[in-house]
Amino acid sequence: MASRIALNLAVVTVSDTRTEETDKSGPVLADCLTEAGHRLQHKSIVKDDVYELRARVSALIADAAVHGVLLTGGTGFTQRDNTLRAIKPLFDVDIAGFGELFRQLSYEEIGSSTIQSRAFAGLANGTIVFCLPGSPGACRTGWHKIIAEQLDSCHRPCNFVDKLKI
């Protein structure tokens, strides 16, 4: 049996209003990943601005020490929800199934309101990027029901660890 590989992960909260004191979702993801045996390599809050967000995530995916980036926030439908516009152009490969599965699981929790979620994921420069809504509940759902297994090198029949620049 293979031993689990601990990954270096970054957490980025996308918000114009959150501070370290008021951010609830970023800490949820940081706690989840460390409880799973991964390392928190970077944590920050970035304004919901296409270019600031793209620059921050570009730097993270260019960093050989970062294996994955977990973003929370900016996935809704308001004019200030720019995560999709900022991040999707960075992907080498879109993981369409992530958003589909997230919305299916979320439907069980919040009903049809899940259609307003634009959760998505992809691979960029050998780094996996998951983009989740900005609520702690959505972060828990995404982590516990999808991301944790897909970042577990022992999960079968497949996971994303062998596709990362480790």
Q: What is the pLDDT along the chain (166 residues), one digit of tens a residue?
A: 568 999 999 999 999 999 999 999 999 999 999 999 999 999 999 999 999 999 999 999 999 999 999 999 988 777 788 999 999 999 999 999 999 999 999 999 998 988 888 999 999 999 999 999 999 999 999 999 999 999 999 999 999 999 999 9
Q: What is the pLDDT of residue 42?
A: 97
For residue 90, is it within any domain? yes
CA distance 121 to 97: 8
Residue among 141, 159, 135, 17 nearest 76 (CA): 135
Domain of 88, CATH number, reads: 3.40.980.10
For residue 130, is it within any domain? yes
**Number of domains making up the chain:** 1
Reported pTM: 0.96
For residue 2, is it within any domain? no
Return the biggest CA–CA distance within the chain: 49
For residue 3, is it within any domain? no
Residue among 32, 36, 30, 16 nearest 161 (CA): 36
Single-letter amino acid, residue 89: P
Single-letter amino acid, residue 164: L
Question: What range defines the domain where residue 58 resides?
Answer: 8-163
For residue 95, is it within any domain? yes
For residue 1, is it within any domain? no
β-strand 39-46 against 93-94: which pairing, if any? unpaired
